[in-house]
Amino acid sequence: MRTLVILAALAALPASAQYDETVTVSRILIDVRVTMANGEAVADLTPADFNVTLDGRPVTVESATWVDEQKDPGYVAAPAPAGASPDWIAPLVPVPGRLFVFFVQTDFTRDYTRTRGQMKFRRYAEEIIEGFAPEDRIAVLSFDSHLKFRRDFTTDKESVIEGIRESIRIDDPARPQPADEASLGPRLTRAALRRATTSEKALRLIGEALEPIPGAKTLVLVGWGLGHRVRGGTAVAMDREWPEAHRALDAARVSIFALDITEADSHDLSWGMKNAAELTGGFYASTYNFPRAAVDRLRRTLTGYYMLELRRPIDLPGGSYRVDISVNRRGSMRVMFPQVVAVSSLAR
């Protein structure tokens, strides 16, 4: 899932050995961001500064590696060598260039508060893109009646900005040029895109397309809402497709940073955006009154993150666990992390 669960490779084992014993995964990796209230990243924490629990059970933080996203964008666990023992710990190898996906919601009904907000925020979105490093790779997708694939991963900022501008259209865009390296194209077929008829289905498809690509990814959701109003009341609930979307994003190590472009001080469907961002280790911000503050917070937050290495308790079975992380430092800090972690055991 979203955490990098370090597993021994099965491919090197004979078929007769693949169902004889259970491999105990002794380490769990999880990405955590810590910022001040204004989004300024806190970069001097140690393992002793973090308190981590899985379903309320304390776990030991073995290491807290600060990843400077502007210099050293990310790491993945190296594949296990042939004949690796069950307690083999995978070394971490760097992945060059950050991976960003811009997911733009374009209202199909042309609601004034949504369309106007999208048009007004467009120049700020372009500013965000201009601020990325030259080696960062960016993809653009939009949603109106269904998901639309506008740009595969590219370092060409001008092309990405043009893709953002095009997202206001209710059109049928031509298939983008495939990425030179990791590409979203193999899973974003025309048929799959047309089946993604809700934002939640679209997010699931994006997560599934990103999962084979190594490293952490950032999804910038420029939109107007997630979820639906509960019939007969004012409450909002996530759509039924969200749990599968969440699992897919988790598996691909995707954090959602939701920028709400609705021209309103508040609205019901903002709750769904907040929930999705919180669950995946990102944040929500409205751009209505203070778009500059939202952009600056995003820029500061994306300075870097901690990769926590957790010691897995010997008796912890495989499954999904609720994560809670706090920091032992004085001052007002925001701690962002995926709130559900999947811990796997592997039968051989």
pLDDT in tens, 67-86: 888 776 556 566 667 766 65
Could you tell me which of 105, 160, 167, 166 has the C-alpha nearest to residue 130?
A: 160
User: How many CB atoms are closer than 10 A to CB 9?
Assistant: 15
**Bigger pLDDT: 203 or 17?**
203
Tell me the C-alpha distance between 265 and 289, whole Å. Answer: 8
Model pLDDT, residue 230: 86
Tell me the C-alpha distance between 102 and 202, whole Å. Answer: 13
Which DSSP string corresponds to 189-221?
-HHHHHH--SHHHHHHHHHHHHTTS-S-EEEEE
Could you tell me which of 284, 215, 292, 291 has the C-alpha nearest to residue 254?
A: 215
Query: Between β-strands 50-54 and 340-343, what pairing exists: parallel, antiparallel or unpaired?
Result: unpaired
Tell me the C-alpha distance between 24 and 196, whole Å. Answer: 37
Mean pLDDT of 292-304: 94
- Same structural domain, 76 and 195: no
Domain extent for 231: 99-301
User: How many CB atoms are closer than 10 A to CB 296?
Assistant: 15
pLDDT above 70 covers a percentage of the chain that reads 84
- Same structural domain, 296 and 308: no
Report how far Cα 29 is from the mean position of its chain's Cα atoms.
Answer: 15
Model pLDDT, residue 96: 64
Tell me the C-alpha distance between 324 and 217, whole Å. Answer: 21
Model confidence at 180: pLDDT above 90: no
Could you tell me which of 153, 9, 155, 179 has the C-alpha nearest to residue 79?
A: 9
- Same structural domain, 35 and 170: no
Contact 41, 304 (CB under 8 A): yes
Which of the four pLDDT bands, split at 50, 70 and 90, describes residue 132? very high
- Same structural domain, 295 and 327: no
Contact 333, 35 (CB under 8 A): yes
- Same structural domain, 115 and 79: no
- Same structural domain, 231 and 325: no
- Total number of domains in the chain: 2
Model pLDDT, residue 214: 85
Model pLDDT, residue 278: 96
Q: How does DSSP classify residue 280?
A: B
Contact 5, 25 (CB under 8 A): yes
- Same structural domain, 122 and 183: yes
Model pLDDT, residue 15: 37
- Same structural domain, 70 and 106: no
Which of the four pLDDT bands, split at 50, 70 and 90, describes residue 330? confident
Quick one: CA dihedral 85, 91, 97, 103, positive or negative?
A: positive
pLDDT, tens digit (0-9, with 9 covering 90-100), for 5-47: 433 333 333 333 333 333 344 688 899 999 998 889 999 999 9
Model confidence at 347: pLDDT above 50: no
> What are the φ and ψ backbone dihedral angles of 314, each rounded to 5 degrees?
-60, -35
Tell me the C-alpha distance between 295 and 33, whole Å. Answer: 17
Tell me the C-alpha distance between 165 and 256, whole Å. Answer: 21
Answer with the one of 281, 301, 321 that is the final residue of a domain: 301
- Same structural domain, 258 and 182: yes
In a 13 Å sphere around the CA of 333, the CA atoms on its Cβ side amount to 19
- Same structural domain, 333 and 203: no
- Same structural domain, 217 and 341: no
The structure's pTM equals 0.85
Q: Is 67 left (phi over 0), alpha (psi -120 to 50) or beta?
A: beta
> What are the φ and ψ backbone dihedral angles of 102, each rounded to 5 degrees?
-95, 120
Q: What is the mean pLDDT of the chain?
A: 87
Residue 132 belongs to domain with CATH number: 3.40.50.410
With residue 30 as reference, give the H or E element that holds it. Answer: strand 27-36
User: How many CB atoms are closer than 10 A to CB 266?
Assistant: 10
Could you tell me which of 221, 206, 182 has the C-alpha nearest to residue 97?
A: 182
- Same structural domain, 66 and 197: no
Query: Between β-strands 254-260 and 217-223, what pairing exists: parallel, antiparallel or unpaired?
Result: parallel
